[in-house]
Homo-oligomer: A and B are copies of this chain.
Amino acid sequence: MRPSGRSVNEMRPISIETNVTKHAEGSCLIKVGDTHVLCTASLEARVPPFLKNTGLGWVTAEYGMLPRSTGSRMRREATTGKQGGRTVEIQRLIGRSLRAGVDRVALGERQITVDCDVIQADGGTRCASITGGWVALRLAVNQLMKAGDIISDPLVDPVAAVSCGIYAGQPVLDLDYPEDSEAGVDGNFVMTGTGKLIEVQMSAEGSTFTRDQMNALMDLADKGVGELVAAQNTAVGG
């Protein structure tokens, strides 16, 4: 029934290649099916002004799509003069999601910026960005700990995300682009490795949904995030 032939609760193949660029403190290339996102974590000594002298660290994120990551070429945001509304929404979500897994006291007064750049898009880029962004963050923090700059691990619980939706009347896990563009209802679920919720965003475009449907999607998300966290652990050798 699904265009890809997957069963309703089946994730696309997940691959996470680490240390893919030589400059970043942490990096990975995450592939969830045909969605490929390059994630880098950059350590900076400075924190945003509102955190100066608080002893607290900060984790933030930026998101971008290469112009031809999509089926037809998109205009480059650098030439339009600003990031679009969708971009801003997504990068705020990534930042909030990652911070939910971080003990900012343990991190100390430093900032880590996670850049998520979509090389190839096939649905679920924001979820892949969160999942891959966590891996990049983990690797950068590992460096800090190895160097003795941080004593206690500030990463308290891994963070991963998956999208689910109602496709052809049926709840399905991990929407790809052909499904996403048809689904009347879809949601993004950000969760921790221990099954806690960080962010739930369910949305019906020109439609509505029931609490039963919502619960069915959350059950699927539970399963998917479990597999994603396992893949994260494997990637970082945990």
Taken residue by residue from 204 to 230, chain A's Cβ proximity to chain B (1 for < 8 Å, 0 otherwise) reads as 111111110010001000000000000
Contact A198 B208, beta carbon cutoff 8 Å: yes
Q: Does A9 contact B (CB under 8 A)?
A: no
Contact A202 B200, beta carbon cutoff 8 Å: yes
The CA-CA distance from A89 to B203 in the complex, in Å, is 13
Copies of this protein chain in the complex: 6
Contact B206 A104, beta carbon cutoff 8 Å: yes
Q: Does A2 contact B (CB under 8 A)?
A: no
Contact for A64 among B78, B207, B211, CB less than 8 A = B78
The CA-CA distance from A96 to B73 in the complex, in Å, is 21
Number of interface residues of A (CB under 8 A): 65
Question: Which among A16-24, A126-134, A144-152, A168-176 touches the partner chain?
Answer: A16-24
Q: Does A6 contact B (CB under 8 A)?
A: no
Q: Does A232 contact B (CB under 8 A)?
A: no
The CA-CA distance from A174 to B62 in the complex, in Å, is 32
Chain A interface mostly:
mixed
Contacts A89-B88, A210-B196, A210-B197; is A79 near B83 (CB within 8 Å)? Answer: yes
Cβ distance A60 to chain B, nearest Cβ, rounded Å: 11
Which chain A residues (110-141) contact chain B, with CB distance < 8 Å? 113, 115, 117, 119-121
Residue of B nearest to A101 (CB): B208
The CA-CA distance from A157 to B204 in the complex, in Å, is 14
Q: Does A85 contact B (CB under 8 A)?
A: yes
Q: 13 interchain pairs (CB within 8 A)? A: A22-B120, A23-B68, A40-B66, A66-B115, A85-B85, A88-B89, A96-B205, A100-B205, A196-B209, A196-B210, A197-B204, A200-B200, A201-B201
Q: Which 5 A-B pairs have the closest CB atoms?
A: A77-B78, A196-B208, A85-B88, A42-B73, A40-B68
Q: Which residues on A are within 8 Å of B, measured CB to CB?
A: 21-24, 27, 34, 38, 40, 42, 44, 62, 64, 66-73, 76-83, 85, 87-89, 92, 96, 99-100, 102, 104, 113, 115, 117, 119-121, 157, 187, 192, 196-211, 214, 218
